[in-house]
Homo-oligomer: A and B are copies of this chain.
Amino acid sequence: MSVSGEMILAGRPTRGEGAPFAASNPATGSAIAPDFPTATRDDLERACAAADDALAPFRALGPADRALFLDRIAEELAADANAIVERAMAETGLPRPRLEGELARTMNQLRLFGRVLREGAYLDIRVNKALPDRTPPRPDIRLSMVPVGPVAVFGASNFPLAFSVAGGDTASALAAGCPVVVKAHSSHPGTSELVAKAVARAAAACGLPDGVFSMLFGNGADIGAGLVADPRIQAVGFTGSRAGGTALIAIAQARPQPIPVYAEMSSINPVLLLSGALEQRGEAIGKAFAAALTLGAGQFCTNPGLLLAVEGQGLDSFVSSAAAAIRATTPATMLNRGIHRAYCAGVRRLASHPAVTPLAQGVSGDGWVCQTALFTVSARDFLAHPELHEEVFGACSLLVRCRDAVELRTVLAALEGQLTVAIHAEGADDQAQAAWLLPLVERKAGRILFDGFGTGVEVCDAMVHGGPFPATSDVRTTSVGSLAIARFLRPVCYQNTPDTLLPAELRDANPLNLPRTCR
């Protein structure tokens, strides 16, 4: 497949009639053909109307048939893998192995939800049969989860495949039975087109209603805002900046009928370096930290942007090792001009902050590249300056030096919500300290990990990629892993309903053979 500048409107390749834009190659800054005409308000209206029409037939399809659709999307992506990866390389500056890995992960994610659908436990089916002889008699009541309705998904810049057009939000929403309207990220429109066409081919092959999937080009203020405000849209998935997320939340809350926005926004992912671990293996942790920090130019939501440690010899050896590794890092191209600009501004802000001292910088370079940066600040100053708690998206981190474990805990308590908190611990003293810290850590983050870094988010049943605000807008959910499907479901119960009128999953004979809890 070649990139032609088309959107997918209600399942069909369609050329927009709005103002065109082009992608830029972040390695060279030059535009990449072709142009992508954007969606008009009328295109948006048609996509939302078709999604609304598709809800009932898509909901009626049953989990096993939707699983076939997800599997088929994975197959269509595989069939077009080379074109997708090459276009993504050109549009994002990310290297081939990373994008091949990300495509594999995206396909696995679709298949994971296929498995979730076939198992059926996600429906939480509950059957309470009538108890006519009880006083008062109990009616027959049966509960299942149903799709919330059409879902708007915003492609993310930093994962052009796994958090974009056919990424986790789309996969989990489709799995739940929700038609999806994607607003593609303007950083990788060609990649978005190729992926969207794979989804559309899969939908057509499975005979699904047209409106099950649309993908539009357009800017956030017009098409993005219009999508969230559209009365047919019932939930929103977003991965991006805090400013972007809070803007969407405000639109969603101002609707006559407010809707949930699942925004994954901002996290500095504190790493707690306990004294025993630093003493035993400060040097090794320093190297591992530098590797985690610079991976993918630091453009991960789970990038280790904050280190908390108690002063001492172990910390010194960690710092020398991390600094040496950082000084040797070659600069990597960032995703786009805006991200590069924001990164440089963030680094400058830290470098010029009176309370902050630079520890190390990576090699610099030309173009939109990320020059790795590590700074340090005392715990006292960090506590006094909340602006230092803000995320700098990219390979930049801040080491907070604490006098003792109590001060370290005070710093942790002052932090906002996080996606991850990592703890490095070695020996009995560290273990005791970790045990003392954990109840607080648990309140701060969705994922707690030991002796590692949060980068690398496993797609599995037990993953939580979520956390308290502002890490996400909804602490009750995850955007990665099989539990992500719960974001797009709502419970409905049927009382005293004739068997033939019940949804198939609730009928007496259990024709879909799904697990149910009966009492």
Contact = CB atoms under 8 A, between A and B. Distances in A.
Contacts of A470: 257
A511 to B, nearest CB: 16
A461 B438 CA distance: 33
A258 B473 contact: yes
Contacts of A450: 495-498, 501
A501 B435 contact: yes
A495 B462 CA distance: 9
A451 B476 CA distance: 36
Interface in A266-316: none
Given A128-B458, A469-B257, A463 B148 contact: no
A149 B443 contact: yes
Contacts of A139: 449, 452, 458
A449 B491 contact: no
A451 B496 CA distance: 8
A352 interface: no
B448 A494 contact: yes
Given A126-B462, A469-B258, A493-B462, A439 B59 contact: yes
A141 B448 contact: no
B458 A476 contact: no
A200 to B, nearest CB: 24
Interface in A20-62: 55-56, 59-60
A257 B475 CA distance: 11
Interface size bucket, A side? Answer: 35 or more
A416 interface: yes
A161 interface: no
B492 A464 contact: yes
Nearest to A460: B128
A385 interface: no
A450 B257 CA distance: 27
A326 interface: no
A489 B476 contact: yes
A155 interface: no
Contacts of A56: 439-440
A500 B431 contact: yes
B495 A141 contact: no
A494 B449 contact: yes
A148 to B, nearest CB: 7
B143 A463 contact: yes
B496 A464 contact: no
Q: Max chain B CB contacts within 10 Å: which of A127, A461, A463, A495?
A: A495
Contacts of A207: none
Given A260-B476, A501-B438, A143 B483 contact: yes
Contacts of A434: 501
A440 to B, nearest CB: 8
Nearest to A422: B495
Nearest to A57: B439
A492 to B, nearest CB: 6
Interface in A130-182: 136, 138-139, 141-143, 146, 148-149
A172 to B, nearest CB: 14
A149 B475 CA distance: 11
Interface of A: 55-56, 59-60, 124, 126-128, 136, 138-139, 141-143, 146, 148-149, 249, 253, 257-258, 260, 416-417, 425, 431, 434-435, 438-440, 442-443, 445-452, 456, 458, 460-464, 466, 468-470, 473-478, 483, 489-498, 500-501, 517, 519
Given A149-B443, A447-B494, 11 more contacts: A127-B462, A128-B463, A143-B462, A257-B417, A260-B476, A449-B494, A449-B496, A450-B501, A452-B496, A464-B491, A476-B491
18 contacts: A55-B443, A59-B439, A128-B461, A139-B449, A141-B458, A141-B460, A143-B461, A148-B475, A148-B476, A249-B258, A257-B470, A435-B501, A445-B492, A446-B492, A448-B492, A448-B495, A449-B496, A464-B491
Please give me the 7 A-B residue pairs with the lowest Cβ-Cβ distance, nearest first: A449-B495, A56-B439, A143-B462, A126-B462, A464-B493, A141-B462, A128-B462
